[in-house]
Amino acid sequence: MSEETGFESGAKRLVELWGEIADLEATIQVLSWDQETYMPAAGQAARGSALGTLAGLRHAKLSQTELGDALAAAEACAESGTPTAALARSARRVVDKTRRIPADLARELARAQSRGHAAWRSAHAEANFALFAPDLENLVRLSRLEAQALADGTPAGDGGEAYDALLDKYEPGAKAAELEPLFRSLLAELTPLLQAVRATGTEIDESPLQGACPRDAQLAFGTRVAKAFGFDFDAGRIDRAPHPFCTSFGTGDVRITWRWNDTDFRPGFFGILHETGHALYEQGLPARWGRTPLGKPVSLGVHESQSRLWENLVGRSRSFWEWALPELHAHFPALSGVTLEQLWPALHTVKPSLIRVEADQGTYDLHVAVRFELERRLIAGDLAVSDLPGAWDEAYERTLGLSPAGPANGVLQDIHWSMAAFGYFPTYTLGNLMMAQLFEAARAELGDLDAAFARGEFAPLLDWLRRNVHGHGHRFRADELMRRATGQPLGAEAFLAQRKALTAEVYGVRV
Ligand code: ZN
């Protein structure tokens, strides 16, 4: 056994071969990061072919017989519950997923995604669903074939459904039938909460937060807080990009991006806090398992739980702002008159809206619930693409009490389906539920976190997350990770309790 990694010697060859795959993946990530940040537009074609070549090499490495033999050797020597068993299981998952998709289906999907993406862009710009419908039909058809291939030809073999195989790409082990009751309780509790808020007629005045916010001051303020949270800038950096994201080339090099609004500090600032949460996870993954599949994050849901925890439960808490408000004043003279009583409620407004990415914390999961319901029906064949716009509008009316005034603010607003990313949306809500449950467990163990936040101390919380989430890498699946960290399976209770407490405090309503 290796002292350093804890892997049996029978896994040695697998680890060596996987290191090359991991290096290719990191190289692809560097080129993709550059493409989104500094690459001139004219570099597109050359970059596209470089990325295509690297993706082909990765696929070839994952398909080679020698890797299959090395994986079988690791499986043969792994005792259950050991790091070697976890290594073999996560490697097997990647290898099988790669091998089960026939080459012609993979090619057809790639073509359909790139055509679908272009069609979606024009359909969105012209607010005309018909321009996207034929491509979406094709994407649904191919995704169903993909689901069947991923499930090894038996999508309903264990009582599951085709959609589960797609969900599993983003959230290993998740099942639609297990998500359904979670969404049902969210809808049952969040909808009346939203109605009660609307009935108060309260409008929170957000105007005191508007004011000139120079770009450099925003970056300095965001960086100051990211450092205080624990982002290691010797092992990471922040750059501008059209869309905020986080990417990692290993625990020693984690990059985040941001964008800003000149008259409102909030989108840029909370974007940085969100991506910092993702980056803290990546920087905290077990370096001893770097270049193996065990050194990876568990799932998109777990990743999102980390970003949302730092953005929403820390960065929007009253105690955090007791520490951060003087910093805000110092960085933005135009906001030097803002008080905690003006600022804090404005970070917790609840108002139904049509656009998911602009939704507040009280309504966000209702947007996700609509997408989960509709995409699951599309993949099951219970909903035809031609009926999707009507079903969308009906679902928004039923869930949020709003009717979209056209497809651009409705069914065409998200990019995901144009890229065949069916099964991705639920990970946002899983992230919220995990966030709340993890935070509750951390608070139960660590005591009064608010006193620490008010002093600008975030290390106790980060240490807890390192011990209970980050440091395990990909060793446990999300359900087991949650059980170990919180003592319970994932539920909606902690999230709903936090929502209710906030709504009571900000709007004075109780349901
Ligand atoms: Zn995120």
Instruction: Give the confidence band of 405 by pLDDT, cuts at 50, 70, 90.
Output: confident
In whole angstroms, give the CA distance from residue 402 to residue 371.
Answer: 15
Percent of the chain with pLDDT over 70: 98
Per the prediction, the chain carries an average pLDDT of 95
Tell me the per-residue pLDDT of 357-370, one tens digit each, with 9 for 90 and over: 999 999 999 999 99
Residue 186 scores a pLDDT above 80? yes
pLDDT at residue 155, rounded to an integer: 47
pLDDT at residue 178, rounded to an integer: 95
- Beta 254-258 vs 236-240: how paired, if at all? parallel
Distance in Å, CA 304 to ligand 1 centroid: 5
Instruction: Give the confidence band of 404 by pLDDT, cuts at 50, 70, 90.
Output: confident
Distance in Å, CA 472 to ligand 1 centroid: 20
pLDDT at residue 2, rounded to an integer: 81
Higher pLDDT, 306 or 106: 306
In whole angstroms, give the CA distance from residue 279 to residue 295.
Answer: 14
Instruction: Give the confidence band of 4 by pLDDT, cuts at 50, 70, 90.
Output: confident
Q: 144-153, 342-351, 455-464: lowest mean pLDDT where?
A: 144-153
Distance in Å, CA 156 to ligand 1 centroid: 31
Bin 138: left if φ > 0, else alpha if -120 < ψ < 50, else beta: alpha
Q: Are 422 and 379 in contact (CB under 8 A)?
A: yes
178-507 is a CATH 1.20.140.10 domain: no
Residue with the two structure tokens 């991705």: 424
pLDDT at residue 346, rounded to an integer: 95
Of 506, 424, 385, the C-alpha closest to 140 is: 385
In whole angstroms, give the CA distance from residue 193 to residue 97.
Answer: 42
pLDDT at residue 44, rounded to an integer: 86
pLDDT at residue 157, rounded to an integer: 47
Of 315, 227, 235, 338, the C-alpha closest to 268 is: 315
pLDDT at residue 276, rounded to an integer: 98
**CA torsion through residues 85, 25, 231, 218, sign:** negative
Distance in Å, CA 308 to ligand 1 centroid: 7
Q: Which residues are catalytic?
A: 275
The token pair at 259 is: 């964008």
Percent of the chain with pLDDT over 90: 92
Higher pLDDT, 153 or 36: 36
- Mean pLDDT score, 210-236: 97
| Distances from the Cα of 469 to the Cα of 195, 435, 438, 460, angstroms | 36, 11, 9, 14
Q: Are 442 and 449 in contact (CB under 8 A)?
A: yes
Distance in Å, CA 307 to ligand 1 centroid: 6
- Mean pLDDT score, 168-173: 95
Residue 397 scores a pLDDT above 60? yes
- Mean pLDDT score, 42-47: 91
173: helix, strand or coil: coil
Distance in Å, CA 75 to ligand 1 centroid: 34
In whole angstroms, give the CA distance from residue 90 to residue 11.
Answer: 13
pLDDT at residue 1, rounded to an integer: 77
Tell me the per-residue pLDDT of 363-390, one tens digit each, with 9 for 90 and over: 999 999 999 999 999 999 999 999 999 9
Q: Domain segments of the chain: what residues?
A: 9-159, 178-507
Residue 31 scores a pLDDT above 60? yes
Distance in Å, CA 408 to ligand 1 centroid: 23
Distance in Å, CA 66 to ligand 1 centroid: 36
Instruction: Give the confidence band of 152 by pLDDT, cuts at 50, 70, 90.
Output: confident
Distance in Å, CA 137 to ligand 1 centroid: 28
